[in-house]
Structure 1
């Protein structure tokens, strides 16, 4: 019974870590755009927003370490650089996005104030909480998530049975691919790397069971959290699709979620949802800045000064980026995600599979391949050109922004065949 209780407690904690409020605005809009193809879009979205992140937690359970351990087989220098890039992206994009979501959902509908004022006050408060760690955040996280889930399930349930019955055609030519790429925007695979270590440390502090038992606990908890994410994401995509004829073509992600809340729960229910999401956004931002400051502090002999400086820099970056609207931040994130997500997915998958298939040589070869073949997708967004399009057109899945998949798989197979026939020459 205690084991079952531990699974549910850990699974719920893990779900809360992934359940970033910013992610809530993505699925309804994806469904809105998908229209009748909502199921295909959901399949793609679940791959990168649920399955890969949960595999990231499974990898953490296997490694029993930190994010650094994911890439150390490539090289220690690579792993340090990768960690810095990931934390930098978190400070520049998903962290500030929480302030932007807060402004659009909880401030702008009620107050005529600027987004710069919102982001400034927001990240001043974030800095105060980061410098004065408080149990208040734990309490907010403990009670906020269940309330938000209940409200969202109410919105989903009512919206399913109250749709207009007219679903507009899909805006996507490749729904599954579009779902996969939109899943990047949740940052959940990156979150798995960042928060997984926190989960491991928490379990080790309160659980003295053998490592194998802890791995089973994390695996089962991961499945439970993944199922919860799947239900919420699928429900939000579905209602976005069912009600897509009721919103204008230029509706924003935040306005769509607020509109669905108004249609199902009325203005008061939607207002409560806005406030809860704003609070949940705040806990996410504090977690990102705290986690980054902790990591940098660890590199400098646990210096409190370094922790403070990192927290200041993170908060200032949040103020600057958080003043922009959600759409702008999402658009800015695309090049960075095209660059870092393929490498992140490869590191997660290589750390999940058995050791005999994941030697240091395989790690290096596959990660380098994924990096090289993700460059065209990165450049296409920054510097589009016909020559680049021709190059991308020659790469399998290249036109779909997934040109790194087949070459990485091919390299994985080739290097394992080489290792099989030359076992003494490979580490």
Structure 2
């Protein structure tokens, strides 16, 4: 009988946590805490739904569907290829991985550089060369990730973040301030939107391959056991995320009274760490950001390489790791600012489609897998999300401003629901038409 021990289940969970927990996950909670102030509990409720609930749901859905390609294939085979390819490229070598490497440099290395080197491109080039060399080495043995991440890197990262939180208790930062902006009027929705922008649900669609390989290496071979253990490990990873997000949000919420408002969560976290640890805080902060970014990059590089190996078997896994590492390094040297300019529109277009696909898979049995529900809903969602993405480049379409939640970046919700309902009705009418036609043909043959 195949059975995963509690110890191994914990290590797999820590590995999943480390792949999710990148620099963005470090930045958003402190910013949320700072701006939500006394409304932190309500705001965190919304944040956890989108930043933890959606990624764990993605892991479960992909595991049950036996892969992202199979899941996307419920819309159309051509859509499956295009969408899966787009997901892996965007969250991988084109945007996600370079962004992580650039942010690790900005937070972990750049503060230590003398002002004379601040304008030079050389430090970033040297850093990314070392960064992706290490990432490449870690990716070469994907079956060892659970040992390296689950047993070493992730526990270290958790200890570092927890130490900051514990020190803040003995050296209090301050009390909770009044909520700012939408955090005062719509704290739940604002928190949801902040978690939504972590984009972890897209990353979760990629990580299924890595989790499956790890579990198979541990002796779990049967499909049913793979699915159940993947869901269990994902749920435990979600609990770790909730705990860490809570600590970081608390640090942000208690920091505003002492430091005032900052532009982003990175500045908030920097102020907190320097206050608690003095100049040594820069070393601690550098370690936290570097470890968080590295584990996410390795997880994405591994999952992308595994996918492209399946897509083009003639090219070996090792070759794909090399190609993706080099391309990611090249894009990382464009600079964080330029990467963010393109990442936001691209992810704005993709993310709603990924969410709708997951939610439809969740209620797949309810509408009996009607293909038209998937197709109509996905077309409606894609139209709005792509138009929304074009808006990031200045191409505004005032016609859609009347859609509920459009100004909040959630204008795709109503069209997605309407598309699903229309697809369901159309599918039922089409099936009924086929049944009547078949009955008529049968009666004519009998006559």
Q: Normalised by the size of structure 2, how large is the TM-score?
A: 0.83
2:163 is aligned, of 154, 158, 172, to 154
Partner of 2:442: none
Structure 1, unmatched stretches of 5+, are none
State how far apart, in whole Å, the 1-side matches of 2:169 and 2:434 are.
56
CA gap of 1:189–1:215, structure 2 versus 1, over 3 A, is: same
Deviation at 1:192, TM superposition (A): 0.6
1:69 CA displacement: 1.9
Deviation, structure 1 residue 316: 1.2
* Helix, strand or coil at the partner of 1:109: helix
**How far apart are 1:52 and its partner, in Å?**
0.7
Partner of 1:27: 29
> What stretches of structure 2 of length at least 5 have no aligned partner?
436-447
User: What SS is found at the alignment partner of 1:382?
Assistant: coil
Q: State the partner residue of 1:371.
A: 382
Given that 1:31 and 1:239 are in contact with CA atoms closer than 8 Å, whether structure 2 keeps it comes out as: yes
Partner in structure 1 of residue 441 of structure 2 = none
Q: In 1, are the aligned partners of 2:48 and 2:242 still within 8 Å (CA)?
A: yes
Q: Give the direction of change, closer, same or farther, for the CA distance of 1:309–1:110 in structure 2 (3 Å limit).
A: closer
CA distance 1:212–1:309, change in 2 (3 Å): closer
- From the superposition, tell whether residues 278 and 208 of structure 1 become closer, same or farther in structure 2 (CA, over 3 Å): closer
Return the alpha-carbon distance in structure 1 between the equivalents of residues 4 and 297 of structure 2.
33
Q: Displacement of 1:50 after TM fit? A: 0.6
Q: Are residue 346 (structure 1) and residue 351 (structure 2) matched? A: no
Pairing 1:235–2:270 present: no
Deviation at 1:213, TM superposition (A): 3.1
Q: Distance in 1 between matches of 2:132 and 2:269?
A: 29
CA contact (8 A) 1:74 1:363 kept: yes
Equivalent-residue separation in structure 2 for 1:73 and 1:2 (angstroms): 31
- Separation of aligned partners in 2, 1:176 and 1:71: 30
In 1, the alpha carbon distance for the partners of 2:224 and 2:404 equals 40
Counting matched residue pairs gives 419
Distance 1:232 1:200, change over 3 A: same
Give the alignment's Cα RMSD to 1 decimal. 3.0
Task: Give the direction of change, closer, same or farther, for the CA distance of 1:307–1:151 in structure 2 (3 Å limit).
Answer: closer
Does 2:93 correspond to 1:83? no
Write out aligned runs for 1:215-230 (5 A). Answer: 215-230=227-242
Contact kept? 1:64, 1:200, Cα under 8 Å: no
The whole-number CA distance in structure 2 between the counterparts of 1:217 and 1:111 is 45
3-state DSSP of counterpart to 2:173: coil
1: CA distance, partners of 2:320 / 2:214? 24
> Structure 1 residues 210, 380: CA separation in 2 closer, same or farther (over 3 Å shift)?
same
Secondary structure of 2:328's match?
helix
Aligned to 2:101: 99
Q: Distance in 2 between matches of 1:306 and 1:230?
A: 34
- CA deviation vs aligned residue, 1:158-209 (integer Å, no higher than 9, x gap): 4357132251431335433332332233221011111122112322333346
**Residue among 400, 410, 416 paired with 2:418:** 410
Say if 2:70 is the partner of 1:69: yes
Does residue 15 (structure 1) correspond to residue 17 (structure 2)? The answer is yes
Q: How does 1:3-402 map to 2 (within 5 A)?
A: 3-65=5-67, 67-90=68-91, 91-112=93-114, 113-114=117-118, 116-129=121-134, 132=137, 133-134=139-140, 140-141=148-149, 142-159=151-168, 162-165=172-175, 167-172=177-182, 174-208=186-220, 210-269=222-281, 271-304=283-316, 308-320=322-334, 323-325=335-337, 329-330=339-340, 332-357=342-367, 358-383=369-394, 385=396, 388-389=397-398, 391-402=399-410
Structure 1: distance between partners of 2:298 and 2:230? 24
Q: Is the 8 A contact 1:167 1:243 kept in 2?
A: no
Paired residue secondary structure (2:74): coil
